[in-house]
Amino acid sequence: MSNAIKPETIQVIEDRHSVKVYEKGYVIPQEDMDLILSAANAAPSGWNLQHWKFLVIDDEAKKQELLPIAYNQNQVGDSSFTVAILGDLEANKNAVPVYDALVEAGGMSAEIRDTLIGQINGAYEHPGVARDSALSNASLAAMNLMLAARALGYDTCPMGGFDHKAFVEHFNVPERYIPVMLITVGKAAKPAYASGRFPLSEAVIKNSF
Helix (H) or strand (E) holding 53: strand 52-57
For 22-55, the pLDDT digits (tens) are 999 999 999 999 999 999 999 999 999 999 999 9
Band (7; pLDDT cuts 50, 70, 90): confident
SS3 56: strand
67-81: average pLDDT: 98
pLDDT tens per residue, range 166-185: 999 999 999 999 999 999 99
The shares of helix, strand and coil residues in the chain, as percent rounded to the nearest 5, are 50, 15, 35
Burial 153-188 (b: 16+ CB within 10 A, else e): ebbbbbbeebeeeebbeebebeeebbbbbbbbbbbb
Domain ranges of the chain: 21-203
Report the CATH fold assignment for 21-203: NADH Oxidase (3.40.109)
Q: In what order do the strands lie in the sheet with 155-159?
A: 52-57, 81-88, 177-186, 155-159
Residue 2 has pLDDT above 60, yes or no: no
Residue with the bigger pLDDT between 193 and 134: it is: 134
Q: Diameter of the chain by CA atoms?
A: 56
Task: Encode pLDDT of 131-175 as tens digits.
Answer: 999 999 999 999 999 999 999 999 999 999 999 999 999 999 999
CB-neighbour burial class of residue 26 (10 A; exposed 0-12, middle 13-18, buried 19+): middle
Tell me the DSSP string of 104-145. HHTSS-HHHHHHHHHHHHHHTTSTTHHHHHHHHHHHHHHHHH
Strand partners for 160: none
Instruction: Find out whether 54 and 183 touch, Cβ atoms under 8 Å.
Output: no
